[in-house]
Amino acid sequence: MRKIIASTFVSLDGVMQAPGGPHEDPVNGFKYGGWVFHYFDEAAGAVIAELFEKPFALLLGRKTYDIFAAYWPYQDDDIAKAFNPATKYVATHRPDSLSWQNSQALGADIVASLRKIKQEDGPDLLIQGSGNLIQTLLANELIDEMTVLTFPLLLGKGKRLFADGGAVPGALKLKRSLVSSKGVIVATYERNGEVPTGSFVTDQPSEAELERRRNWQ
Q: Under 8 Å CB-to-CB from 120, ≥6 apart: which residues?
A: 2
**Pair 66, 35: CB distance under 8 Å:** no
pLDDT at position 129:
87
**Pair 157, 179: CB distance under 8 Å:** no
AA identity, residue 48? I
Domain ranges of the chain: 4-216
pLDDT at position 43:
87
3-state secondary structure of 154: coil
pLDDT at position 47:
87
- pLDDT per residue as tens, the chain (217 positions): 999 999 999 999 999 999 999 999 999 999 999 999 999 888 888 888 888 889 999 999 999 999 999 999 999 998 899 999 999 999 999 999 999 999 999 999 999 999 999 999 999 999 988 889 999 999 999 999 999 999 999 999 999 999 877 889 999 999 999 999 999 999 999 999 999 999 888 888 899 989 998 998 6
Chain-centroid distance of CA 113 in Å reads: 19
Question: What is the phi/psi pair of residue 177, to 5°?
Answer: -155, 155
pLDDT at position 119:
95
Cα-based distances in Å from 84 to 24, 55, 98: 19, 13, 13
Q: What is the DSSP letter of 85?
A: T
**Pair 60, 52: CB distance under 8 Å:** no
**4-216 carries CATH number 3.10.100.10:** no
Record the pTM.
0.89
Q: How far apart are CA 35 and CA 151, in angstroms?
A: 9
Q: How far apart are CA 24 and CA 37, in angstroms?
A: 13
Q: How far apart are CA 3 and CA 116, in angstroms?
A: 12
pLDDT at position 17:
94
